[in-house]
């Protein structure tokens, strides 16, 4: 059994990654269209193209990591040596040069591709570590739960502090672009330290060697039936999260409006809390953490496959109901309640998916006699990024098609209200409700045919223990 310190250390890695990833997913489309100055169409193409490249590069990194041999192990060295590049690339991504539109578009493409390439170089080996830190399927779920608990903790910190950080730097008489850049510098410094702690606190216990050719690894992967089904289900899950997350900043700017408050009376005292996108998102991250804490007992009680299907069914119902919540003081509280419930369920899903990938890796090792843990886990990152690419681009393109009008820097700084067309407002409401519900339904259909049940994994783990002796 691994020590608690190692589980916490492993969690620090995704805490770092998630701080960056959530800011990218939730604020980068808004940054490109309202601060950097790109058109919605160009920003959508940028998000799609760079994240597709990022997704395609994941298996390449998986293959490289599988064949790395050092005194620190296969995957841990990447946490040490790539961490500084990771932080620098994030700062460059949120830097707005005072150039012509064409030059800025080229800069945006270069820095986004650079960031996603470096993200792959550190995140794929980090994810693959789960397959070599323990050989126990239940302990992998525990490690995965620690990972996602800290991931959501990092996301909460990043999202709760992002807008206050930007406002703080704005109070120092900085321009809006400068304030966003300096806020990212703070986040990047924290991410660098967290990855160093992950390297220091974790260990690789299983010594696996990929003894087959790259071509055979790929052929085995492509014929891996559970892998295909899990890829489809995981892509839908990430698409669900990305569509909702990337819409929130727009939803609050144009559906909720600036300057809204949550009001209540407690013991005769009237209380008021500023209701803004960062609060909505950060409350979701705390709720995610609650969901993560429930994953291990729920997975033991219902099994991973049944839990996956059940959670998505409830997500579908809640998403549809979100459409009908009124935009009113009472409606704001109901929206926050639904955000808590939806986020608790997505919190259950995250470690569940990573643990299921570990099961797929064990299945592949037994059936195909190949230790392709990095390649298997890179596919999970690939699904995440494809979901992010499709979701982020779809939000921007749908808004553009529905006539959404971005704000200028002056309008954004002054929190100006814009009379958006009804078609754009309806699109925003659907992006928070019916569209995620449809994605959850597709995830249910994909997981229905997934064959690695609890009973099947018990058989696989027993056979692997015999072959590894």
Tell me the per-residue pLDDT of 409-463, one tens digit each, with 9 for 90 and over: 666 665 656 778 999 999 999 999 999 999 999 999 999 999 888 888 888 888 8
Residue pair 135/464 in contact by the 8 Å Cβ criterion: yes
pLDDT of residue 132: 79
Q: What is the pTM of this model?
A: 0.70
For residue 273, what is the enclosing H or E element?
strand 269-274
Question: CA-CA distance, 155 to 186, in Å (whole number)?
Answer: 14
Question: CA-CA distance, 329 to 326, in Å (whole number)?
Answer: 9
pLDDT of residue 34: 83
pLDDT of residue 381: 66
Output the 3-class SS for 12-70.
HHHHHHHHHHHHHHHHHHHHHHHHHCCCHHHHHHHHHHHHHHHHHHHHHHHHHHHCCCC
pLDDT of residue 320: 97
HSE of 315, CA atoms in CB hemisphere, 13 A: 30
Dihedral angle computed from the Cα positions of residues 14, 16, 20 and 25, in that order, rounded to the nearest 10 degrees: 20
What DSSP assignment string belongs to 387-404? HHHHHHHHHHHHHHHTT-
Question: CA-CA distance, 397 to 401, in Å (whole number)?
Answer: 6
For residue 93, what is the enclosing H or E element?
helix 76-93
Which residue stretches of the chain have pLDDT < 50? none
pLDDT of residue 380: 66
Exposed/middle/buried for 438, CB within 10 Å: 0-12, 13-18, 19+?
middle
Closest CA to 180 of 195, 194, 167: 167
Helix axis angle for 137-170 and 176-201, nearest 10°, is 150
pLDDT of residue 211: 54
Based on the structure, what is the number of domains in the chain? 1
pLDDT, tens only, 136-187: 767 877 888 888 889 888 888 888 888 889 989 988 878 889 999 999 999 9
pLDDT of residue 429: 95
Q: Which CATH number belongs to the domain containing residue 324 in this structure?
A: 1.20.1250.20
For residue 265, what is the enclosing H or E element?
strand 261-266
pLDDT of residue 108: 93
Structural domain for 299, as ranges: 4-468
Residue 100's CB: how many other CB atoms inside 10 A?
9
């Amino acid at each position: 059994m691994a020590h608690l310190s190692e589980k916490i250390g492993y969690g620090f890695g995704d805490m770092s990654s998630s701080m960056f990833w959530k800011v990218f997913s939730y604020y980068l489309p808004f940054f490109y269209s309202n601060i950097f100055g790109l058109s919605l169409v160009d920003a959508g193409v940028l998000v799609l193209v760079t994240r597709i490249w990022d997704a395609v590069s994941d298996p390449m990194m998986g293959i490289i990591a599988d064949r790395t041999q050092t005194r620190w192990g296969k995957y841990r060295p990447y946490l040490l040596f790539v961490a500084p590049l990771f932080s620098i690339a994030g700062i460059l991504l949120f830097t707005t040069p005072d150039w012509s539109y064409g030059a800025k578009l080229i800069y945006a493409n270069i820095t986004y591709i650079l960031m996603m390439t470096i993200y792959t170089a550190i995140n794929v080996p980090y994810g693959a570590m789960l397959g070599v830190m323990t050989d126990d399927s239940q302990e992998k779920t525990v490690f995965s739960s620690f990972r996602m608990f800290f991931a959501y903790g990092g996301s909460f910190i990043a999202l709760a502090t992002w807008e206050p950080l930007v406002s703080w730097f704005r109070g120092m008489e900085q321009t809006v672009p400068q304030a966003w850049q300096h806020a990212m510098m703070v986040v990047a410094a924290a991410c660098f330290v967290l990855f160093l702690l992950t390297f220091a606190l974790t260990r690789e216990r299983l010594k696996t060697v990929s003894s087959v050719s790259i071509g055979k690894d790929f052929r085995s992967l492509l014929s891996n039936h559970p892998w295909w089904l899990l890829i489809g289900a995981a892509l839908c899950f990430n698409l669900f999260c990305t569509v909702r997350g990337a819409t929130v900043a727009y939803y609050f700017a144009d559906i909720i409006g600036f300057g809204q408050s949550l009001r209540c009376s407690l013991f005769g005292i009237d209380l008021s809390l500023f209701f803004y996108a960062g609060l909505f998102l950060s409350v979701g991250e705390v709720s995610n953490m609650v969901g993560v804490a429930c994953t291990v007992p729920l997975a033991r009680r219902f099994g991973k496959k049944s839990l996956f299907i059940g959670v998505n069914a409830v997500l579908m119902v809640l998403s549809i109901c979100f459409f009908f919540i009124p935009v009113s003081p009472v409606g704001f509280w109901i929206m926050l309640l639904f955000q808590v419930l939806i986020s608790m369920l997505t919190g259950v899903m995250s470690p569940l998916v990573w643990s299921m990938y570990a099961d797929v890796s064990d299945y592949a090792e037994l059936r195909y006699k190949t230790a392709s843990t990095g390649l298997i886990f890179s596919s999970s990152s690939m699904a995440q990024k494809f979901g992010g690419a499709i979701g982020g681009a779809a939000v921007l393109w749908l808004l553009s098609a529905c006539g959404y009008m971005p704000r200028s820097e002056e309008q954004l700084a002054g929190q100006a209200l814009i009379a958006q067309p009804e078609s754009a407002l309806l699109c925003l409401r659907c992006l928070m409700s019916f569209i995620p519900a449809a994605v959850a339904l597709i995830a249910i259909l994909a997981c229905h045919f997934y064959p690695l049940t609890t009973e099947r994994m018990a058989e696989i783990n027993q056979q692997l223990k015999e072959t590894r002796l």
